[in-house]
Amino acid sequence: MAENKETVETVAQAKATLRYARISSRKVKIVADLVRGKNVDEALAIIKYTPKASSEILEKLLKSAIANAENNHYMTRANIYIAEIYANQGPTLKRIRPAAKGSAVRIRKRTSHITIVLRERK
């Protein structure tokens, strides 16, 4: 009996990750949702003119991912798109602020881990 051997085609992908970014993942996801699935040049234009705190961080990370794609994986910039972009919650830095009657209030400074995965359109 002949077995069915499926050929699995591997798709080249470039990746860039920023860990422990001092911004809440909730704020990053707002801008990330805008650029998911877009070509990299279009995504850079969207990020550049989006007035959000995470825009600057995402722009720098996207440029890094593009450089990885071009230099390490030999992809052409015109065909690259954002296949995946996500922001997960990182560890929370806990700080204390003085409050009334000698008590203290917790301040949670949130961090996030941001990942961008680029692939090439065929």
Which domain, by its residues, includes 67? 14-120
Residue pLDDT, tens place only, 75-88: 999 999 999 999 99
Backbone angles phi, psi at 88, to 5 degrees: -105, 155
Q: How far apart are CA 65 and CA 86, in angstroms?
A: 14
Amino acid, res. 9: E
| Count of domains forming the chain | 1
- pTM value is 0.86
- Domain-embedded: residue 68: yes
- Domain-embedded: residue 4: no
* Residue in 60, 61, 57 with CA at minimum distance from that of residue 17: 61
* Structure-block tokens of residue 114: 């941001």
Give the CATH number for residue 94: 3.90.470.10
- Domain-embedded: residue 3: no
- Domain-embedded: residue 9: no
- Domain-embedded: residue 1: no
* Structure-block tokens of residue 70: 């071009």
Residue pLDDT, tens place only, 24-52: 999 999 999 999 999 999 999 999 999 99
Q: How far apart are CA 118 and CA 111, in angstroms?
A: 23
